[in-house]
Amino acid sequence: MPERPVAKADPAQGMTDMECTETTDGLSRMYKVKVPASELKTRFDAKIEEIRPQMRLKGFRPGKVPAAHVKKMFGKSIMGEVVEAAMKESSEKAIADADIRPASQPDMHMESDMEAVLDGKEDLAYHMHVDVMPDFEPADTSKIKITRPVSEVDDAALDEALGRVAENNQKFEARGKTAKARDGDAVLIDFVGKVDGEAFEGGAAEGHSLVLGSGSFIPGFEEQLVGTKAGDKKDVEVTFPEQYQAEHLAGKAAVFEVTVHEVRAPKTPEIDEEFAKGLGIDSLEELKKLVSDQLQAELDNASRAKAKRALLDELDKAHDFELPPKMVDMEFDQIWQQLQSEMDAGRASDEDKDKPEEKLKEEYRAIAERRVRLGLVLAEIGRLQDIKISEQEVQQALIREAQRYPGQERQVIEFFQQNPNAMAQLRAPIYEDKVVDYLLENVKVSDKKVSREDLLKEDEE
């Protein structure tokens, strides 16, 4: 069948003829909408006249294809576009005429026989359900009082962190020729792996340094080299895991012929000027400052998380209004699915495992209601205070998200750019943090000094 041109825009100027009735139940609205068949026919005829001059069909002069022939060849698909546009326009007009702020996308339910509508024999009739945003006034946040736990980096924490830096940069020094390898030592080895007596690709290396206990080789390999010394030859017998990445080796028994050339003991370097310069830092003092600043940033983040949690608790107490049912249902479904996944993976808490399902659902629905309530409160405060996020902030968040997937950065960025819902989810936490920052500057905050351990322990809880 020849292709037809697509109209660039609907020629109809607004929904000129439609009926709409409203049913109210709390924050839920139900709108019954009817668009007469005559209105659809007017739009249908106008669309045909719009595309007819562009049509090129064999047997007709360019632009002179009769309207009747266009209807015969493309009538149903054109009417389908007309109906789709009419539903979109009429639903938007119904919401605009009702002067409501939708809390979610409307659910559309067709009442007409669609085939009859497409044939022009029946009016387009449908109803839609939509929740509206609750009308409430945010509480006076200047009266809210919270306590923010704070902590500073002490010498003990700094020394401990520097010690970890040194351990992560440890070197290995050769033991004596008769020294036996211990867990944590590095052994310099040659090896050849064989399955059924035949060497396999990728199963051999020379001069390989392997840290025993690192878990970098397949299970059972490293343990068998504990106790070996320089000059030893040993057959290491292992079985590849069933889920091994090389499918031709998965689950198979193998023997590695190993020659040990040297045993090396780990040596943690002294934390001095030379060590700092080895890390590319000008001085030990600068290294200490860098590590201290990083530790302090961790404490400050934990402190802010505590303050935010306390703020949200107070905001939750200060507000009580009806919630859009669909928003609560969607939030609950998301929480419940996550809980089910954790239970299936054996990660659910013992407390949750022992509770009846109805009790669990009751508790998690309360959590969903709290999240929706707080989301609405923060959004309304942000709207009233004209808080906005810049495109630069969104782009920075997008880049950070893309960097979580090395080698796939472009695909991640394109995914977000092509999916408005995904981009909205990226913007939401940025906006929330800006509103929270505004509130933390306007509520009464009392700082309470606590130990680093207590601050981080509380944060884990």
Give residue-wise pLDDT tens across range 370-427. 999 999 999 999 999 999 999 999 999 999 999 999 889 999 999 999 998 889 889 9
Average pLDDT over residues 244-263: 93
158 — pLDDT class (breaks 50, 70, 90): very high
Give 73's contacts (C-beta < 8 A, 6+ positions apart).
Answer: 1, 2, 4
Model's pTM, two decimal places? Answer: 0.70
- Residue ranges of alpha helices (H) inside 28-66 are 37-51
Phi–psi pair at 248, nearest 5 degrees: -70, -10
| Cross-strand bridge partners of residue 444 | 145
Assess contact for 188 and 209: CB atoms under 8 A. yes
Sign of CA dihedral 419, 423, 428, 429: positive
Residues in the chain: 461
Residues 258 and 188: their CA atoms lie apart, in Å, by 10
Which one, of 237, 283, 287, lies nearest residue 258 by Cα? 237
pLDDT at res. 68: 78
Could you give the C-alpha distances from 324 to 30, 229, 366, in angstroms and in order? 13, 71, 14
Domains of the chain: 19-131 (3.30.70.1050), 171-267 (3.10.50.40), 302-460 (1.10.3120.10)
- SS3 at position 416: helix
Assess contact for 166 and 271: CB atoms under 8 A. yes
Average pLDDT over residues 159-183: 92
Give residue-wise pLDDT tens across range 88-110. 999 999 999 999 889 888 999 99
pLDDT at res. 309: 95
Assess contact for 117 and 123: CB atoms under 8 A. yes
Mean pLDDT over all residues of the chain?
89
